[in-house]
Amino acid sequence: MGARVIVYTGKGGVGKTSVAAATGVLCAGKGHKTLVVSTDVAHSLGDAFGQRVDAEPTQLGPGLWAQETDVYRTIRLYWGDVQRYFADVFQWRGLDAVVAEEMSVLPGLDELASLLQIVEHHEKGAFDVIIVDAAPTGETIRLLSLPEAMRWWLERILPLQRRAARLAGPLLRRLTGMPMPSDAVFRAGEDLFRKLDRMHRLLSDPESSSIRIVLNLERMVIAEARRSFTYFHLFGYPVDLIVCNRVLPEGVGAYFAPLREAQRAYLPRVQGAFAPVPIRIAAQFGNEVTGDETLRALGSAIFGDDDPAGFFYRGRPFRIERQNGALVLLLELPFVEKGEVDVARTGDELVVQVGPWRRNLMLPRVLADLPTAKADLDNGVLRVRFGSPGAAKAIET
């Protein structure tokens, strides 16, 4: 089956790097040959381990390796021919060679190239567990949504552009002097898009990969985590765990008492919003989380005696399909009768209540701008149908 892949993401500053490093320490302690990779441009993995981490996998201890990817090396590896062509075009337009070189690196390409290295590690089979300290959620979602768009471009647009370059390229070059892309450039682009497709297949495979969201019990952090949770499932990436990090314990004193009470109020909302995906809680440490001892303590607080490489949830809490021209949200509600379910719409949230339990689903943009038309329950599956733009957002049940 290959390596187990775990991707940690979360809003910047929530402590996802520490959680990823702690997971790596525990996995190695369980006997798994483990690699922890940072794909965030602002690397801090070495700081978390308290050791130097290089651009190639660096052994930190028995069964544990870490890697902070080299941005420019990975870009040259996956984007070299295309980058050189863009640099030539920019120089033709009068830019300085150094500026042209910098301009040829597209925004987000550094993180993307780092993610592609995960696929190579997986295919080589040198590690049992690969843990990814990914970029903050917004960047991660954007990068993980690329394969869908790239597949369309690869199948429909690239062949037309290649033919156009072959037919009109020599004439344009003679008339304008503008550099034209060679077959090597098109092959490099095609190879990159195929690697993206492999990345999507790997990270969306529920038998080998899962995403884990790290959050703090703060309003803005929770809101971003909920929306990212929706988008990960929309693009087919399984989420198997939510980690609430830096939760204040009892007896923190009068100064932190208001923050402690706010966290206590937010926790039930988090548990309801992400159900049935389990929640693990890590208390706020009294000292900096860095080095083997504190990372092991953090990992133990999250996982206890469980194997961090295991799957804590399998399945998709909801999915979105197109049926008879309309978008339909499907939510599995096993063992529930029709009279026990109540569905309501509040802005870009769908509120589903079953008996005393309520769940608030944050709708993706593709659904948030559409009216809800009808909801029905059949064989344990709730189906919420969305109408065309402009109609009233009422729900017929």
Cβ pair 324, 265 in contact under 8 A: no
Q: Please report the pLDDT score of residue 215 as a whole number.
A: 97
Looking at per-residue confidence, does 197 or 113 come out higher?
A: 197
Give the Cα separation of 154 and 147 in Å (integer).
Answer: 10
Between 54-58, 136-140, 161-165, the lowest mean confidence (pLDDT) is in 161-165
Cβ pair 262, 21 in contact under 8 A: no
Cβ pair 221, 14 in contact under 8 A: yes
Give the Cα separation of 393 and 147 in Å (integer).
Answer: 32
Domain topology for 318-386: Immunoglobulin-like (2.60.40)
Local confidence band at 93 (pLDDT 50, 70, 90 cut-offs): low
Intra-chain end-to-end CA distance of the chain, in Å: 44
Mean pLDDT (the chain) is: 80
pLDDT at position 396 over 60: no
Q: Please report the pLDDT score of residue 70 as a whole number.
A: 72
How large is the average pLDDT for residues 220-227? 89
Q: Environment class of residue 383 by beta-carbon count within 10 Å: exposed (0-12), middle (13-18) or buried (19+)?
A: middle
CATH homologous superfamily, domain 1-310: P-loop containing nucleotide triphosphate hydrolases (3.40.50.300)
How large is the average pLDDT for residues 348-355? 83
Residues of the chain above pLDDT 70, percent: 71
How large is the average pLDDT for residues 334-343? 79
How large is the average pLDDT for residues 272-281? 89
Q: What is the sign of the dihedral through the CA atoms of 363, 366, 372 and 376?
A: negative
Rounded to two decimals, what is the model's pTM? 0.74
Cβ pair 46, 39 in contact under 8 A: no
Give the Cα separation of 383 and 374 in Å (integer).
Answer: 8
pLDDT in tens, 309-329: 999 998 876 788 888 889 999
Give the Cα separation of 170 and 179 in Å (integer).
Answer: 10
pLDDT at position 69 over 90: no
Looking at per-residue confidence, does 215 or 378 come out higher?
A: 215
pLDDT in tens, 18-31: 999 999 999 999 99
> What residue type is 119 in one-letter code?
V
Local confidence band at 340 (pLDDT 50, 70, 90 cut-offs): confident
Local confidence band at 363 (pLDDT 50, 70, 90 cut-offs): confident
pLDDT at position 274 over 80: yes
> 136: helix, coil or strand?
coil
- For residue 197, CA distances in Å to 69, 138, 161, 175, 346 come to 21, 20, 20, 38, 36
Give the Cα separation of 287 and 211 in Å (integer).
Answer: 28
pLDDT at position 160 over 50: no
How large is the average pLDDT for residues 86-91? 58
Q: Among the ranges 68-77, 158-167, 260-269, 359-368, which has the highest mean pLDDT value?
A: 260-269
Question: How many Cα atoms sit within 13 Å of 360 on the Cβ side?
Answer: 14
How large is the average pLDDT for residues 374-391? 85
Pairing relationship of beta strands 381-386 and 4-9 according to DSSP bridges: unpaired
To 10 degrees, the CA torsion angle through 76, 80, 85, 87? 0
Give the Cα separation of 290 and 186 in Å (integer).
Answer: 45
Q: Please report the pLDDT score of residue 161 as a whole number.
A: 52
pLDDT in tens, 103-126: 555 555 566 667 778 888 998 999
Q: Please report the pLDDT score of residue 226 as a whole number.
A: 85
Cβ pair 127, 117 in contact under 8 A: no
Residues of the chain above pLDDT 90, percent: 40
Between 51-65, 272-286, 377-391, the lowest mean confidence (pLDDT) is in 377-391
Task: Report DSSP state, residue 181.
Answer: -
Give the Cα separation of 264 and 269 in Å (integer).
Answer: 10
Local confidence band at 257 (pLDDT 50, 70, 90 cut-offs): very high
CATH 2.60.40.790, the chain: domain bounds: 318-386
Non-local (6+) Cβ contacts of 113 within 8 A are 69, 71, 74, 75, 77, 78, 79
Q: Which two tokens stand for residue 268?
A: 């039930």
CATH 3.40.50.300, the chain: domain bounds: 1-310
How large is the average pLDDT for residues 215-234? 86
pLDDT at position 395 over 70: no
Q: Please report the pLDDT score of residue 246 as a whole number.
A: 96
Cβ pair 69, 118 in contact under 8 A: no
Cβ pair 71, 168 in contact under 8 A: no
